[in-house]
Amino acid sequence: MIITNNPLVKANLPEETKIVYMKCSYKDILIKVRDLCYAGFLLKTHPLSGSVKPNETPYKSIMVSDASTGKTDFDSCELISNAISTYEKFAKLPDKWPKEVLLDFQVVDLSLMQNALKSIDL
Amino acid sequence: MTKIKVVHYINQFFAQIGGEEKADIKPEIRQGIVGPGMAFKAAFGDKAEIVATIICGDSYFNENIDEAKKTILAWVKKENPDLFIAGPAFNAGRYGVACGTIAAAVKEELGIPSLTGMYTENPGADMFKDKVYMVATKNSAAGMRDAVKIMAPLALKLGNHEPIGASCQEGYIPNGIRVNFFEKERGSERAVKMLLAKLAGKPFTTEYPMPSFDRVEPNPPVADITKAKIGIVTSGGIVPKGNPDHIESSSASKFGEYDITGVNDLTSETFETAHGGYDPVYANEDPDRVLPVDVLRDLEKEGKIGSLYNKYYATVGNGTAVASAKKYGAEIAKRFLDAGVQAVILTST
Amino acid sequence: MYNIAERQMERSVILKLELGYIDIKDIKFADKSEIKDGILYVNTEELKKLVLEDEDIKSVAFDIAKPGESVRITPVKDVIEPRVKISGRGGVFPGVIGPVDTVGDGVTYALRGMAVVTAGKIVGFQEGLIDMSGPGAAYTPFSKLNNLVLVCDPIDGIKQHEYEHAVRFAGLKAAVYLGELARNLKADETKVFETCGIVEGLTKYPGLPRVAYVQMLQSQGLMHDTYVYGVDAKKIVPTILHPTESMDGAILSGNCVSACDKNPTYVHENNSVVADLFAEHGKTLNFVCQIITNENVYLADKRRSSDWTAKLCKMLNLDGVILSQEGFGNPDTDLIMNCKKIEAEGVKVVMITDEYAGQDGKSQSLADADAVADACVTAGNANQVIVLPKMDKVIGVVEQVPKLAGSNEHSLRPDGTIEAEIQIITGATNETGFGTLSAR
């Protein structure tokens, strides 16, 4: 299941992929994933994917397990908590990106998620 | 460059007033140099001058921190120096704590650049190395010359408001603030040298000490929470109104045990917060916000938990040393176990 | 009779590469492309024809940037050192320009003191900056080179990944074209690098610690990729290379995001861990091999790669490794996984990383940590803010700068000064220890 705020991801991933699309901020995505981890979902991709820094790109897509395992996975919780701490240490930059640059961010984020999906193709 | 003005702080021993028997002397201020100030004078040359020396007994300082600080800060403010130096304290514990306390206070409250020095195992080191520049010294006064050799140039930089480089360049104890600088050798060369040392069992110094996380293995989950006796503890400082045990607003030296038999709700009339590290308004309005007695009582009534243990424990987490916190935790856990408590809710702020 | 023991002792599998350096002191545009007396003359028309063979590139402009000039190059995509294979198997950039053949032996020439720099807007952010003088020059190794810059413009409507591919190949083709000019010259200096086989290494250097270089390669997606013999590093499983293979361009950069800690192709060709381990080879250590692994986003891939990397370290009977990473954030997790698992096999680790400790230097530098990582070399805090003065000339597109990592819309001041984090400088905090920047 992909949690994302990237409209390009919503539009371009294969039909069968379960997508939860939210019109929200980068941080909101991290928080949503954190809450899912507490509820027993497993983290499948690293929340800090990509080197475009958290205070630059507004888009984030994270893959979690399709359903809750019923038990909280400590590693998943730790990863997402650390990701939120890492997000918070970056200086807040005003995000007034022109449209083309926003599209670029979407394209890179989509590429990262598409490649992650390839890893589970088998 | 004008000569920078320095005020120096030392204890009764270095002032040659006396040893342990004179550790209770009140603070005094003398014009010019006393004792180890001579070593600094020699190192400073004509670049800086110690205009005044403040002397205080180590016991007096530690037992009357607020008073001593108030007096000394007023004197320092009057002298208006460009720089304040405390110690060095070497391995003398109370002296180290005094030096750290007063140097940090001068920096934070008067905005005057400050410097101190002590042995890395001095209790004052861990407490204050992050709050004020601190040079690592040997563990006895025999290390005075070496200490001054490093402290003096750093002091001049601080006094002249020059940018301060990385800890390994300037000689201060790493204080948690990463500072960039250019090494002589490139990173890969340093890595090869470090590996050869590590392989040979020789000492090496990592360039980035990992933060250490104290991991505690979680216990298995409570079998049946509806039958369990639940205890609550807070480091958020919620205490009965009036703070009867005088738990300090920071660096708490104790925890309190308080009876909540028959108490279903904490109110601003009956409880308050002693914690000095957060805005107390909302906690004082309704202390349940930090210690959720009201919600736990509801759960108790609804049968969702077995019962709420009738005593709770509180301390203040603000600036409290890890060692102290460990001590309180162990003692509180013992009391809970004796009382048959099976699970505990910890609230912090 | 077939005596195995004898045969193993006699059979030498040493891979030897002679790397000849042709020192380039200057670059000039001229009617004929050639190298004479240390000066590289370039016929830009020929080079232009070569680059424009790719229909995805609409136009290309060439420029020269020399050390000490008041010149700023931005946005930087890749930096490549021209090399040419004189003898031995294959050709440079195997699997991409050269044939797929295994490289790393024979004789290769390198044009030392210069580089091909590709510049061109692929995406609107984060592609790096090189200042040839001023305070910024100290933060990039490429300010010390004579740079031939290719500024590429894409055709309209092209997709980002297609254009990235086009610019990547343009740079490599230019580097091969220039390298070829050295084919019949005599090298100014030659260094010899030898890698022993396992048995030979053990017999030749019985008392020396067996050391390998574990190199983590960026492998996440668009602008975040590395290629090994043309294979996308996302697809590889951890494996072994002769360290000299990278000297022939076996590892290539497809990533530049963010500029400070990504390895341009130049760094792969001139890997400093490889160089510094070779310098000690046979003296204080036995440089056994290079192990490469990746940094995929998918968590199971991370677990698999780190398991395999540790397994290789164990099977090779290594005593110690130098472990370098590439990137920020999720590679920190790979770094710690690799470190923990390799140490658990009884192999000692020294790792090289950079830090993101915030502009005030107070934040936790890495996204992950473990007490076992007790030997760490740092390339500095990438969040350090720097003020770069206006340069007289900008090669590339200066309006890009506010969109570079670590900079914001106020970064580019009206007077041409840039205030931004050193993140935007190409190679500033390189995690293979290429530079001297550090932090405490």
Q: Which tens digits make up the pLDDT trace of C36-67?
A: 999 999 999 999 999 999 999 999 999 999 99
Domain end (from B170, B189, B206): B170
Residues of B within an 8 Å Cβ radius of C:
166-169, 174, 176-192, 194-196, 198-199, 204, 206-213
Residues of A within an 8 Å Cβ radius of C:
43-53, 56, 63, 79, 82-83, 85-86, 89-91, 93-94, 96-98, 100-101, 104-105, 107-108, 111-112, 114-116, 118-120
For residue B13, give Cα distances in angstroms to B21, B30, B94, B134, C55.
10, 15, 12, 21, 83
The listed range with the strongest mean pLDDT (A58-67, C218-227, C354-363) is A58-67
When CB atoms are compared, the residue of B169, B178, B196 closest to C381 is B178
**pLDDT above 60 for C401:** no
Domain ranges within chain C, ordered by starting residue:
4-424
Is C256 noted as a catalytic residue in this protein?
A: yes
Q: Taking the CA of residue B54 as centre, how many other CA atoms within 13 Å lie in the half-sphere pointing to its CB?
A: 30
CB of C403 within 8 Å of a chain A CB? The answer is yes
CB–CB contact B198 C211 (8 Å): no
The C-alpha atoms of residue B55 and residue B116 are separated, in whole angstroms, by 15
Choosing among C160, C161, C222, which should be mutated to test the A contact, i.e. which has the most A CBs within 10 A?
C222
CB–CB contact C160 A107 (8 Å): yes
Neighbours of C165 (CB within 10 A): 15
The C-alpha atoms of residue C201 and residue C286 are separated, in whole angstroms, by 7
Q: Are B26 and B57 in contact (CB under 8 A)?
A: yes
Q: Is B61 a domain residue?
A: yes
The C-alpha atoms of residue C357 and residue B207 are separated, in whole angstroms, by 14
CB of C382 within 8 Å of a chain A CB? The answer is no
CB–CB contact B211 C369 (8 Å): yes
Do B149 and B243 reside in the same domain of the chain?
Answer: no
pLDDT number for residue B214: 66
Instruction: Note the pLDDT tens digit of each residue in B288-300.
Output: 999 999 999 999 9
Conformational region of residue B340, where left means phi above 0, alpha means psi within -120 to 50, and beta covers everything else: left
The C-alpha atoms of residue C174 and residue C63 are separated, in whole angstroms, by 13
CB–CB contact C124 A116 (8 Å): no
What would the mean pLDDT of C196-207 be, rounded to a whole number? 88
Do B38 and B157 reside in the same domain of the chain?
Answer: yes
Choosing among B129, B168, B189, B192, which should be mutated to test the C contact, i.e. which has the most C CBs within 10 A?
B192
Instruction: Kindly give the pairing relationship between strand C146-154 and strand C114-119.
Output: parallel
Catalytic residue among C256, C260, C313, C339: C256
Closest by CA to C436, choosing from C255, C276, C295, C266, is C276
Q: Is B35 a domain residue?
A: yes
Q: Taking the CA of residue C433 as centre, how many other CA atoms within 13 Å lie in the half-sphere pointing to its CB?
A: 30
Which residues sit opposite C146 in a β-bridge?
C114
State which residue of chain B sits closest to C360, comparing Cα positions.
B177
When CB atoms are compared, the residue of C275, C362, C438 closest to B187 is C438
For residue B128, give Cα distances in angstroms to B75, C96, C147, C197, C365.
22, 57, 49, 54, 21
Domain that holds residue B323: 225-347
Q: Are C116 and C167 in contact (CB under 8 A)?
A: no
The listed range with the strongest mean pLDDT (B18-22, B248-252, C174-178, C299-303) is C174-178
Instruction: Kindly give the pairing relationship between strand B229-234 and strand B343-347.
Output: parallel
Neighbours of C164 (CB within 10 A): 23
Which chains lie within 8 Å of chain B at 3 or more CB pairs, if any?
Answer: C
**pLDDT above 50 for A122:** no
The C-alpha atoms of residue C266 and residue B92 are separated, in whole angstroms, by 55
**pLDDT above 90 for C3:** no
Structure tokens at C108: 């290769």
Instruction: Note the pLDDT tens digit of each residue in C213-257.
Output: 999 998 887 777 899 999 989 888 999 999 999 999 999 998 877
Which residues sit opposite B55 in a β-bridge?
B10, B28
Which chains lie within 8 Å of chain C at 3 or more CB pairs, if any?
Answer: A, B
pLDDT number for residue B319: 63
Q: Which amino acid is at C45?
A: E
Calculate how close chain C gets to A61, using CA atoms only, in Å: 11
Per-residue pLDDT band for B325 (boundaries 50, 70, 90) equals: confident
For residue C133, give Cα distances in angstroms to C140, C423, C437.
10, 18, 17
What would the mean pLDDT of C282-306 be, rounded to a whole number? 94
What would the mean pLDDT of B173-177 be, rounded to a whole number? 91
Closest by CA to B8, choosing from B147, B92, B106, B90, is B106
Q: How far apart are the first and last CA of chain B?
A: 48
Calculate how close chain B gets to C226, using CA atoms only, in Å: 21
Total domains, chain B: 2
When CB atoms are compared, the residue of B177, B182, B199 closest to C436 is B182
What SS3 class is residue C120?
coil
pLDDT number for residue A95: 63
Do B11 and B160 reside in the same domain of the chain?
Answer: yes
Q: Give contacts of C267 with chain B, Cβ < 8 Å.
A: none
Instruction: Note the pLDDT tens digit of each residue in B233-289.
Output: 999 999 999 999 988 877 677 899 999 999 999 999 999 999 877 888 999 999 999
Give the least confident one: A86-90, B279-283, C130-134, C138-142.
Answer: A86-90
**pLDDT above 60 for C405:** no
CB–CB contact A46 C364 (8 Å): no
Q: Give contacts of C367 with chain A, Cβ < 8 Å.
A: 48, 82-83, 86
CB–CB contact A53 C405 (8 Å): yes
Do B132 and B235 reside in the same domain of the chain?
Answer: no
ipTM: 0.94
The C-alpha atoms of residue A103 and residue C89 are separated, in whole angstroms, by 44
CB–CB contact C374 B210 (8 Å): yes
State which residue of chain A sits closest to C127, comparing Cα positions.
A52
> Is residue B88 reached through a cis peptide bond, with omega within 30 degrees of 0 on the bond before it?
yes
Instruction: Kindly give the pairing relationship between strand B83-86 and strand B114-118.
Output: parallel
> Is residue B81 reached through a cis peptide bond, with omega within 30 degrees of 0 on the bond before it?
no
Domain ranges within chain A, ordered by starting residue:
2-118
DSSP letters, B162-227, are: PPP--HHHHTBPP-S---EEE-SS-HHHHHHHHHHHHHTT-----SSPPPP----PPPPPPS-GGG
CB–CB contact C350 B176 (8 Å): no
CB of C286 within 8 Å of a chain B CB? The answer is no
pLDDT number for residue C297: 87
Neighbours of C374 (CB within 10 A): 17
Question: Which residues 222-261 of C are in CB contact (within 8 Å) with A?
Answer: 222-224, 234, 255, 257-258, 261
What would the mean pLDDT of C295-314 be, rounded to a whole number? 94
All residues at 6 or more sequence positions from C191 whose CB lies less than 8 Å from its CB, including other chains: C18, C19, C21
Choosing among C143, C377, C429, which should be mutated to test the B contact, i.e. which has the most B CBs within 10 A?
C377
Burial (CB < 10 A; 0-12, 13-18, 19+), residue A45, is: buried
**pLDDT above 70 for C402:** no
Q: Are A105 and A97 in contact (CB under 8 A)?
A: yes
What SS3 class is residue B132?
coil
Q: Give contacts of B183 with chain C, Cβ < 8 Å.
A: 436-438
C296-320 burial code (b ≥16 CB/10 A, e <16): bbbbebbebbbebbbebbeebebbb
